Amino acid sequence: MDAVNNSELSVLLVESSPMQRKVILKKLDQEGVTNVEFASNKKQALATITKYPPDLIISNLYYEDGTAIELLQMLRKKEEELSAIPFILISSEKRREQLEIFKQSGILAILHKPFEQQVLQRALRSAMTFLNREDLYLENYDVNNLRVALVDDSKLARKAIARALNNLGLNNITEFEDGCHAIDYLKTQEIDFLVTDYNMPQVNGIQLTEYLRKSPENSHVPVLMVTSEAKDSHLNKVRDAGVDAILDKPFDTTKIKSIIVKMFQN
């Protein structure tokens, strides 16, 4: 697929307020994004997406007939073309417990109302990275054969992270929904790279990393933690456990390439 740029980007904006549509449309226009379709609710959005799949969905949180998370969950159950569409949330919601649902759902960014132009710029750059393939070169490693273990109890988050890794040429990915399953695998298998969530029901990311560091076969393996708690002070424990790099959820896909290169250089 040819690379997509801002001027070619097709966007579905799900927003019921004409005033908010106008504000968002003006900001998109400043970034050269002019191919924008509109939907007012979940039903309209789903119908439009099914008939004319956009490159990117930008959505408000609440609709008259549901929520953005319900729309996202419905899309993730559909065929690959629809389930992989990148998703940006725009919301005035500030309650952590509400936003946590979206952070675990594999969306690209959360823009808090009212958002600055530069925040939209970063979100669009992340969307471009998500949509466009960019080859990764690692000295002394064949990227196509690099063995990656991806561990996250959110299937939606795993899907988004795997897509970002695939775009860099990392296709040999084995997925696990909990650290305990990854440990069972590591007892008999070697890997080259571990990407893990922090909070998981049985064995969390710290415990998984500590196990890895004690493993003679895998102790050297670089570890990237992708977590919604990357800004919390307790993540000092994460670094002490041997995690090499941390990315926040929703993660900025533009940073993944440079982070991976740095980890493998070290």
pTM equals: 0.77
CATH architecture of the domain 6-131 equals: 3-Layer(aba) Sandwich (3.40)
Reported as a single tens digit per residue, the pLDDT across 171-187 is 999 999 999 999 999 99
Reported as a single tens digit per residue, the pLDDT across 107-132 is 888 899 889 999 999 999 988 888 88
State in words which class domain 143-265 has: alpha beta
Residues 6+ away with beta carbon under 8 Å from 161: 106, 150, 152, 195, 226, 251
Reported as a single tens digit per residue, the pLDDT across 193-235 is 999 999 899 999 999 999 999 998 899 999 999 887 755 556 6
Q: How far apart, in Å, are the Cα atoms of 84 and each of 9, 29, 54, 153, 240? A: 15, 24, 11, 18, 35
pLDDT (0 to 100) of residue 241: 80
Per-domain residue ranges of the chain: 6-131, 143-265
pLDDT (0 to 100) of residue 171: 92
pLDDT at 2 over 60: no
pLDDT (0 to 100) of residue 88: 93
Q: Which residue has the higher pLDDT, 104 or 226?
A: 226
Would the CATH topology of 6-131 be identical to that of 143-265?
yes
